[in-house]
A and B are shown apart, each in its own frame.
Chain A
């Protein structure tokens, strides 16, 4: 089955730690995106990539980093510089402009 796989589903981070969220797609989509969702708020764009080895900051990139070494993979690292990382993180992909966005099932990150 084609789709987007995010792992892990739940992740716990201690203060001062970096953690990496995985996002893999087998849809052969060029573009991939990371969004953050907080309770009662809409999704906000963190980073996006429209081609391998290239990525751009979204609206709330501070404290996050990404890489795009392979077309199918777009991992997100939440660094210790992100002061309020507890949220639901969603990865998405698109095949091109003016097409549907497909989303993964999300990773819930909690700081303990």
Chain B
């Protein structure tokens, strides 16, 4: 059974710092990996989707990489801002085919960016 782990569980950084969030998964036969942001008491907002054939995706100050063979993904946030404070979740879809979208989530990294 797929297991997803996120390290660290919590991270506190000063504004302006570049930072890396880590996600690892036990079964490398994934269909895709997605990074989400969750604000307290809210739903999830999709940040980046990396398909299995891709190595990385970029959106603004965010860059996500994927190494399927080692079962790892990283989310790089450049020049962090207080508004980046949230919980960041990674999820893998390892069903594919006719059972797509059955995501397995990590427990998240709680990020705090202080002014």
A98 and B31 in contact, given A41-B107, A43-B105, A45-B102 (Cβ under 8 angstroms): yes
Within the complex, which residue of A43, A96, A108 is in contact with B103, where a contact is CB–CB below 8 Å? A43
Number of A-B residue pairs having CB atoms within 8 Å of each other in the complex? 77
Binding site for B on A (CB under 8 A): 4, 6, 31, 33, 35, 40-45, 48, 50, 56, 58, 90, 92, 94, 96-106, 108
Interface residues on B, range: 20 to 34
Residues of B within 8 A of A43 (CB): 44, 89, 91, 103, 105
Q: A33-B101, A50-B98 given as contacts; is B108 within 8 A of A42 (CB)? A: yes
Kindly state the separation between the CA atoms of A56 and B93 in the bound complex, as whole angstroms.
16
List 19 A–B pairs whose Cβ atoms lie within 8 Å, in order of A's numbering.
A31-B100, A31-B101, A42-B108, A90-B44, A92-B44, A94-B100, A97-B97, A98-B93, A98-B96, A100-B34, A100-B49, A101-B91, A101-B101, A101-B103, A102-B46, A104-B43, A106-B41, A106-B42, A106-B43
